[in-house]
């Protein structure tokens, strides 16, 4: 199932899939300019996710997946993606999300959204996405 949140007002769209997982997706990902510095729009996206979790206690576990662009070594990028995912988890907790419902995981440069030809392409790949991996309301 795909569970999508668009904009600040949570609008839920459910679609069945074989995996019985749900992806919690904003109109754009939480992105990073450099290191752990988030792009300006990212705070609003994280607030949207926090609101969605507060409105639906049936969302039992959200996986926060961090990704990087390709510059830098594999080990460096994996560690950076883990730190980014953990930073977003910390912000969600600051906004009132239950830490027990959040899991942060980094994937480095293994899942790019676009080929990296320009700096803008790299910024797109420097992102964090959210996946609902356990939800009572989705499992029904």
Q: Kindly report the pTM of this predicted structure.
A: 0.77
The predicted-structure confidence for 33-62, as pLDDT tens digits, reads as follows 778 888 888 888 899 889 888 988 888 899
DSSP sequence for 34-67: ETTEE-TTHHHHHHHHHHHHHH-TTEEEEEEEEE
The predicted-structure confidence for 72-126, as pLDDT tens digits, reads as follows 899 999 999 999 999 999 999 999 999 999 999 999 999 888 898 898 888 888 8
pLDDT for position 8: 32
CATH numbers and ranges of domains, the chain: 2-139 (3.30.1330.60)
pLDDT for position 28: 55
């Amino acid at each position: 199932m795909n569970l999508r949140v668009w904009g600040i007002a949570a609008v839920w769209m459910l679609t069945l899939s074989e995996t019985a997982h749900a992806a919690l997706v904003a109109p754009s990902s939480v992105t990073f300019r450099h290191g752990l510095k988030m792009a300006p729009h990212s705070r609003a996206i994280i607030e949207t996710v926090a609101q969605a979790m507060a409105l639906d206690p049936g969302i039992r576990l959200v996986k926060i997946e961090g990704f990087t662009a390709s510059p830098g070594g594999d080990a460096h990028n994996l560690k950076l993606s883990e730190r980014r995912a953990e930073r977003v988890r910390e912000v969600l907790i600051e906004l009132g999300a239950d830490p027990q419902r959040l899991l942060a995981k980094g994937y480095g440069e293994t899942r790019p959204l676009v080929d990296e030809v320009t700096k803008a392409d790299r910024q797109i790949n420097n992102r964090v996405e959210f996946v609902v991996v356990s939800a009572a309301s989705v499992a029904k």
